[in-house]
Structure 1
Amino acid sequence: MTTRGLDLAARVAALDEAVEAAVGRLPAVDLEPARRALIHARERLALSPDHTVVALAGSTGSGKSSLLNAIAGEQIAETGVRRPTTGFPAAAVWGADGAAELLDWLGVDERRHLAGPAAEAATGLVLIDLPDHDSVVVEHRVRAERLLERVDLFVWVADPQKYADAALHERYLQPLATHADVVVLALNQVDRLTPAERDRCVADLRRLAAEDGLAGGTVLAVSATTGEGLDELRELLRQAASRRVAATARLVADIRAEAAQIAAACGEGVPPRIRRAARDELVTAFETAAGVGVVVDAVRRSAARRARAATGWPPTRWLARFRPDPLRRLHLDGVPERPELTRSSLPGPGAAGRAQAGNAVREYTATATAGVPQVWSLAARARARAAAATLPDALDQAVTGTRLDAERVPLWWRAVGAIQWVLLAALAAGLLWLAGLVLLTYFRLPEPTTPVWFGLPAPTVLALGGAAAGILLALGARLTGTWGARRKAARARSRLRAAVGQVADERLVRPVSEEMRALERCRAASRLAAL
């Protein structure tokens, strides 16, 4: 009997990790056997590691009780012709005491401690005569099956008449296919057979055991009446008790069997890495659903409006103030202190936008879960659907919480605005000068000498030059403001895409990735435990 590869503690830890990763993904009913195996392993390891528990299991009339008495050399279990013969388990304990807590955990009340040189040679052996597994009394079968889940080594006692019984092989032996190291098949009552019949029965039992997956199990021919094969069986039990590996081997077999079941549910293929293009398509669809295009256009128009208001020709500049600020109309003219409590006035996504976002969610989830078992894919899709239900509010909060325009006024706006006022002052001065000259002429008063600039009277140059320069400067500033507004819109789009991408990562990419990481963790841990 060997434990193969990892020690038991490492296997228990690995299976525990696999179960933890599978919670909420694999059906609870599929994880329950693994949980029981873990509980059983921990409980058994905490109880008397110096004892090896061996169960004599078999059908009614197979001679289990007689075999126990023959091995022990004492009358431990009652034998008789009344059926069922064994209704309650009885235990023989070799060597000093110390197995009381273990037997209490097993639920064995009838126990006998053996002493003497023969008992000392097999110190630590606990041999239990189980109730008949085919008993017509339900309570007897329940006791037997409960003990079968907890013992360290199985000795299946079969008689020449029932060793090929389908119920024995299908219900009890085949489920132990992964436990060949801790299974012994004892063909009892061979004294009733001729040597040729005995050899045929033993060969046939080996064949059936191999078909059950127990090709590595030990098959013995024994007789509680004549003592045939008992020395070999006693030596096998003595070695199991002295080496103290049967308990570990049984627990390892249990852990490996349950881990193999979970590993099978995790599938063979490795999920592909999520394509970058799939996430980009997802974010683009979310931008449409969040109304990013509308916001970016509003940023452009708002920035252009502010530029005109700051740099336009003063006599017409005030007209721009009558036009509503596009960002203010959307309640996006600032970053609120608590975006989660603020809502924009953006129109909700239309049917096309909602369909695009829904398709993107499904497409992304399908890409991320390609090649994984359906049960894990369904778990990922369930989380994606749950996340999709909260997307509208999350996207709106992402938009309202994004800084869309610079709060600092550009220096060139201030400079152009100051120049415009100087030019307006020149215009006003020229007009006032001209008006003064007109009044002097009207009242026939002597006119002062008027300077000539560039071949024209100075007031005319001031009036015309101030107006022309102001208008030309306003036109140039408008073109520059339009270019700047486009740059601000481009920066706003970049920030909004980042904010929407963060929502996509938090609400969809991360949950789906967590499911895939849980699958990989479950697969790796279960395969490690099943080695």
Structure 2
Amino acid sequence: MSLTLEERSEALAAAVDAGDGRLPPALVDGARALLLRVAQRVGLSSEHTVVALAGATGSGKSSLLNALVGMDLAETGVQRPTTSHALAVVVAADDEGARDATRRASPRPDTAPGAVGPLLDWLEVDRRHTVVASREVGGGSHRRRSDRRAPTAGTVPPGLVLLDLPDHDSVVVQNRFRAERLVDRADLLVWVVDPQKYADAALHERYLRTLVGHDDVVVLALNQADRLSAAEADAVLADLRRLAALDGLTRARTLAVSARTGEGVDALRGLVARAVERREATTQRYGADLRAVAETVVRACGEPTPSRARASTDTLLDALEDAAGVPTVVDAVRRSAVRQARARTGWPPVRWLARLRPDPLRRLRLAPRPERQAELTRTSLPAAGPGPRALAATAVREHARDALAGAPDAWVLAARASLDVAALPDALDHAVARTPLLPERPVWWWRALGAVQWALLAAALVGGLWLAGLALLAYLRLDEPVTPVWGPAPAPTVLLVGGVLAGVLLAALGALAAHVGARRRARAARRRLRASVREVAQRLVLDPLAAQVDALTRCRSEATRAAAR
């Protein structure tokens, strides 16, 4: 189902708004000017159809206007063109009252519904004439119509606003400007050509080729056909159709007319009458204008290909991790976890040595601390070198390229400009600083193993003291108490040797478990760090790019909708 002018205008406006800043400025300005023009035309009289007679110098526009209305209203010239300002002939119904057909009308306020005055003011046409619909072509008296039937091909229909435009090839620039402005605002365009200038390059390149898609509202009238034989007229018409097809107007209507003899005038008048009666010319004209601009917007959006952004997100995050020093932090987490485990599970007599070693995380100012303090802390990680920074910048550019694959350069450049790459280093450092890396409380098995280690040390001390006491008694030649034997050795020996050996063995097992646990904690820390890096990437890279992709998608989809027939 075809869109209404309002729906098509809304779709094009949405597309232009979505593409503002990425679409060519001239295209955006032209589209908004067209939308304003459409809104203004729709807000004016819907009961009138504006038909413009446009053509080159000497094509006979004014004579053809007089022939169409059956009155000499437009001044004609023999030696030079006389149309420097547009002339409007308004065809009114009988009950609107006859106007003086020869007076010059000036712009005047007119607030009546459907009144033609505001329409002519918008067209900026000051020279106005009013005729009644009952006037027969070729002269004749006024008469009241007794019915409301549509006029036949031999009458001028009510609701017609017929314009005689200045020459589009006038040497006076202001005349050409007036003609071009009215060509843009007319509902139905009748291009009046003559046998000498019908193939003029200026006509085809500057005007007709810009009207591609406007076939329904373009008529090519070959005037002065009386100067040609029937065969010559047919040949010129055939060539005119060929040129129009090359201009993209394959369905434009063409006919031969003669303002002097009246040949073809009735056919042209009937064509205009049907357009006025159907009241479709305005919709067709401005609908074609909106479609043409919308098609240009679609082309300006490029041909987006399936996005590779998901595949490149991992590459982006890897590069940002390197730039943030995540590998260094993960290694520090692993070594810090081992240090903490050894300090709590090692053999008590030597575990203090582990505490003498500096904590890798503390050196980086990443030791576990309250969340509020972490939010205000910067790390002491070394600044990323040129290599990681270059890799990060390259990853961001490539991700933008992949996210907007197939989009024009303007969209890609706008997307890159929307990325706050300069804020990435500080944001990444802050993300690393506030990421919890290790639990603040010791692991439960550290406490259990530490308790066992202290028990074994106590047993070894008891055994040692026991053996020392026995040695002292022997040195003093005192009677030694009976020493119990546990297995192959006396109890104090078992306590001393067993406590030391078991403690050392348990410390070795604890160290092995500490390395295994440290690797697991390092992997968990890396997952949390990657999540923090992803948050930064989401805020500074992914979300801005997603907004650009959404804008491109919305611009293209709305423009495609506006361009639909």
After TM superposition, the score normalised by the length of structure 2 is 0.83
2:181 is the counterpart of 1:143: no
> Are 1:292 and 2:326 counterparts?
yes
User: 1:234: Cα distance to partner?
Assistant: 1.8
How do 1:496-515 and structure 2 match up within 5 A? 496-515=529-548
Match of 1:471 in 2: 504
Show CA shifts across 1:42-70 (max 9, x none).
22222222221111112233332232233
Q: Which structure 2 residues correspond to residues 165-184 of structure 1 after superposition, within 5 A?
A: 165-184=200-219
SS at match of 2:62: helix
Task: Check conservation: 1:305, 1:325, Cα contact below 8 A.
Answer: yes
Q: What amino acid does structure 2 have at the position aligned with 1:107?
A: E
Structure 1: 5+ residue runs without aligned partners?
none
Name the residue aligned to 1:243. Answer: 278
Q: 1:419 and 2:429 equivalent?
A: no
Q: Distance in 2 between matches of 1:338 and 1:506?
A: 23
* Distance in 2 of aligned mates of 1:65 and 1:338: 86
Partner residue of 1:32 out of 23, 29, 34: 29
Distance 2:189 2:213 in 1: 13
Shift of 1:198: 3.7
Structure 1, residues 364-400: CA drift from partner, whole Å, max 9, x if none? Answer: 44544554444444444555xx444333223222322
Hey, what does 1:316 align to over in structure 2? 350
CA, structure 1 residues 478+116, in 2 after alignment: closer, same or farther (shift >3 Å)?
closer
3-state SS of 1:255 partner: helix
1:335-484 equivalences in 2 (<5 Å): 336-337=371-372, 341-383=376-418, 386-435=419-468, 450-454=483-487, 456-484=489-517
Aligned to 2:107: none
Q: Is the counterpart of residue 14 in structure 1 residue 21 in structure 2?
A: no
Structure 1: distance between partners of 2:133 and 2:404: 65
Q: Identify which range, 34-43 or 438-447, moves more after superposition.
A: 438-447
Aligned partner of 2:102 in structure 1 is none
Which one of the candidate residues 125, 133, 137 is aligned to 2:168? 133
Are the counterparts in 2 of residues 76 and 91 from structure 1 also a CA contact under 8 Å? no
User: Partner of 2:212: helix, strand, or coil?
Assistant: helix
Q: Distance in 2 between matches of 1:34 and 1:503?
A: 38
The structure-2 alpha-carbon separation of the partners of 1:226 and 1:275, relative to structure 1 and needing over 3 Å to count, comes to closer
Letter in 2 for 1:418: A
- The residue number in structure 1 matching 2:142 is none
CA-to-aligned-CA distance 1:144-202 (integer Å, 9 cap, x gap):
11111111110112233333332222222221232111011222233444444444443
- The separation in 2 between residues aligned to 1:32 and 1:518, in whole angstroms, is 18
Q: How many residues align?
A: 525
Matches within 5 A, 1:169-248: 169-248=204-283
Q: Distance in 2 between matches of 1:453 and 1:165?
A: 123
75, 78, 82: which is aligned to 2:75?
A: 78
Alpha-carbon deviation of 1:305? Answer: 0.9
Checking the alignment, whether the CA contact within 8 Å between 1:424 and 1:466 is kept in structure 2 is: yes
How far the C-alpha of 1:463 sits from its partner, in A, is 3.6
SS in 1 for 2:372: coil
2:307–2:405 contact (8 Å) kept in structure 1: no
TM-aligned CA distance change 1:339 to 1:128, over 3 Å: farther
Equivalent residue number for residue 102 of structure 1: 119
1:272 aligns with 2:306: yes
The two structures have a TM-score, normalised by structure 1, of 0.88
Does the C-alpha gap of structure 1 residues 258 and 338 become closer, same or farther in structure 2, counting only changes over 3 Å? farther
CA distance 1:338–1:164, change in 2 (3 Å) = farther
Calculate percent identity across the aligned residue pairs.
57
> For residues 110-121 of structure 1, what are the structure 2 equivalents within 5 Å?
110-118=127-135, 121=151
Deviations 1:199-255 (A, max 9, x none): 444333333323322231122222333333222222211211111110010111111
- For 1:471-511, what per-residue CA distance to the aligned partner results, in whole angstroms no more than 9, with x for missing partners? 32222212211211111112112222333344344444444
Aligned partner of 2:192 among 157, 177, 183: 157
SS at match of 1:117: coil
Q: Secondary structure at the match of 1:50?
A: coil
Contact 2:368 2:439 survives alignment (8 Å): no
Deviates more, 1:185-194 or 1:227-236: 185-194
Note the C-alpha offset of 1:402. 2.0
Task: For 2:257 and 2:373, locate their aligned partners in 1 and report how far apart those are by CA, in whole Å.
Answer: 83
Among 50, 63, 66, the alignment partner of 2:63 is: 66
**In structure 2, do the counterparts of structure 1 residues 137 and 337 end up closer, same or farther at CA, with 3 Å as the change threshold?**
same
Equivalent residue number for residue 45 of structure 2:
48
| Displacement of 1:425 | 3.0
Q: Secondary structure at the match of 1:220?
A: strand
Is the 2:91–2:133 contact (alpha carbons within 8 Å) kept by the matching residues of 1?
no
SS in 1 for 2:366: coil
